[in-house]
Amino acid sequence: MRRRALLATTLLATPALAWPDRPLRLLVGYPPGGGTDIMARAVAARLGRELGQPVVVESRTGASGTIAAAELARATPDGQVLLFVTGSEMALRPLLDRQLPYDAERDLQPATLLGRTPVALAVNGAQGRGGWRAAPAS
């Protein structure tokens, strides 16, 4: 419930998003059917209902989300284009690629945290048997 309130407050506090005059575009930098795309579509459906305005999900796949992030950076800053981002576009890519077509700090403005994705390390089953034990989750 708190996440919904935070999302609604964040999005509705932006005047351009409060009364959009055309469908909002939600860019996703990852292929359709993946976890990021599925979550983006669920958010778009809910956001569209809350705003009473269509939210169109657009896949701009490639380069670990860089293509979609660059499109947002080039978009007119009118609040009509949103980017469903992961840590890659905002934090990791700027550290690894000095020639990005956007500056994450200058061109992208985080709006809200929508979720977290657990990450795990796996090994071949034969190698994992024996004395190795996972550390307790914190």
What are the tokens at 105?
A: 């700090």
Residue 131 — very low, low, confident or very high, per pLDDT cuts 50/70/90? low
C-alpha–C-alpha distance, residues 13 and 7, integer Å: 10
User: What CATH topology corresponds to 2-128?
Assistant: D-Maltodextrin-Binding Protein; domain 2 (3.40.190)
Across all residues in the chain, what is the average pLDDT? Answer: 82
Per-residue confidence (pLDDT) for residue 76, from 0 to 100: 93
pTM: 0.73
